[in-house]
Amino acid sequence: MPISSRAALLVIDVQNDFIPGGQLPVPEGEQIVPLINRLASQFRQVVIAQDWHPSGHISFASSHLGRQPYDVIELPYGAQTLWPNHCVQASVGAEFHPELDLPHAQLIIRKGCNPDIDSYSAFLEADRSTTTGLTGYLKERSIDTVYMVGLALDFCVMFSALDARAAGFNVCVVLDGCRAIDLDGSLAAAIARMQEAGVSLIQSSDVR
Ligand code: VGL
Ligand code: ZN
């Protein structure tokens, strides 16, 4: 697949806290960094998503008395998995992996900034109505196809992919540029949901 001039690469949450050694490690998360750097050099348009929570964020187990990480609770907008504290604004854990090398990226979109709403997706927060503005940015720049890589495949990448499809973009998730958390079958479920939604699941070798 040659890269269209109307395509953008969205690099999702390649941050220290999602790398082994961080607060919410995604197994093998560090392994995708060289591939992402190589792939990104083929794109003119690169956007980076950054999970960026205030301390005391509603998605942190520590914000809920008696709850443990990976418990699921009901919030006004629906079920919420509780996580270890992670990607706290301006912390080292929230910084990009030190070897991520995307000098030509034009936009960093920060998400999960609202203390009372989580946001896995780089497009729409978990209340499904607060937008990050990313759809408008991409459409104003005439982007019609969004390639995605990053962490975690079964959370932030999947929700970003579904929302991008719903917004009318062609979406290609580059599987070897992603790694998953895989909680209770979440990886298989994510693959099925993306396929159902018409997301193309590809390998980096398909992009030339
Ligand atoms: C993510 C859980 C909590 C992700 C972010 O980037 O997939 N997962 N916050
Ligand atoms: Zn988060």
Coil, strand or helix: which one is 199?
A: coil
Q: Terminus-to-terminus CA distance in the chain, angstroms?
A: 6
d(CA 172, CA 191): 12
The predicted model scores a pTM of 0.97
In 3D space, the residue among 169, 129, 127 whose CA is nearest the CA of residue 148 turns out to be 169
Confirm or reject: Cβ of 120 under 6 Å from ligand 1: yes
Longest dimension (CA), the chain: 52
Question: For atom 4 of ligand 1, which residue has the closest CA?
Answer: 156
| Dist. CA 114 → ligand 1 center (Å) | 15
| Dist. CA 120 → ligand 2 center (Å) | 7
Span 7-54+89-206 CATH architecture: 3-Layer(aba) Sandwich (3.40)
pLDDT averaged over consecutive 10-residue blocks of the chain (208 residues)?
91 98 98 98 97 98 97 96 98 98 98 97 96 97 98 98 98 98 96 98 96
